Amino acid sequence: MKMTFSDAQLPAMPMDTEAIQKCIPHRYPFLLVDRVTSMSPGDKIVAYRNISISESALQGHFPGDPVLPGVFIIEGLAQTAAIFGYYATGCVYKGCLLSDVSEARFRKPVRPGDRLVYEVKIERQRGHFLWFDALALVDGEKVATAKFSALMR
C-alpha cells in the first residue's frame, strides 16, 4: 500500500538520536532506537539499537547469562513504527497510542554485543490509525516478529 507522504517529507538519512527525539517523546533510558538507517514511503523503515552489557534491563535478567527481555524488543519495534507513522500520517505528533500487539513471536535470545535491527512496514492505514508488521533481526537472523496497531495523534 502506498502511503500519503512523499520523499520530500522524509528526513535526511541516517537519523541520529537527536533527530529521533524530535519525532517521539522517549528519552533515556526509555528510548530504544539508536539510529534510523532508511525510510521509504509505502515501503518500510529500518532502524537499530546496539545492545550493551550496561543496559539496566540486563542487570537482573538472568545474571551470568544476560538476555534482553522480549518486551524491550517489542517496545523498540513500536518506537520505530511511531517514527514511521509520524511521517506517514503527516500529523503534528502529540503521541502514539499503541492499541494492539498480536502474533508476537520470539525466536532467539538477544544478548549484549548484538545489534538489534528493527524493520517495520505499514500494512494499512485509515486516517491516523495504522497497522504494522514488524521484524527484529540480529546478524540477519529473525529474533522476533509481531503485528500491532496504533493511533497517531
Across 85-107, b (16+ Cβ under 10 Å) vs e yields bbbbbeeebeebebeebeebebe
* Residues 53, 66: Cα–Cα separation, whole Å: 8
Of the candidates 26, 61, 121, 147, the residue annotated as catalytic is 61
- 128: number of Cβ within 10 Å: 16
The verdict on whether 128 is a catalytic residue reads: no
Q: Which residues are catalytic?
A: 61
